[in-house]
Amino acid sequence: HFLRLQVTAVVDCKSTHCEQSIWHPKGCSSRSCTKNYGPDIEQDVQIVEGLCWPCTYAQ
């Protein structure tokens, strides 16, 4: 039940109030803007048979 994931991309949140978005104005000097990212796009790297180590130690 354990998957190792790799983040392959981060989705733009498309907010004009987010400094990380391409929609944010370049010359904006507002201090109320946030630094949010959208959801991650993940890719399965490895599937491990059995329980992950936290579940193994919890037994």
Phi, psi at 34, each rounded to 5°: -100, 175
Domain containing residue 46: 2-58
Longest pairwise C-alpha distance within the chain: 55
Which helix (H) or strand (E) segment holds residue 56: the answer is helix 53-58
Q: What is the pLDDT of residues 10-45, one digit of tens each?
A: 888 888 999 888 899 999 988 899 887 777 888 777
| pTM: predicted TM-score of the whole model, two decimal places | 0.47
- Could you give the 3-state DSSP secondary structure of residue 5? strand
Report the C-alpha gap between 25 and 19 in whole angstroms.
Answer: 8
Number of domains in the chain: 1
d(CA 19, CA 6): 24
Model pLDDT for residues 9-18, shown as the tens digit of each residue: 888 888 899 9
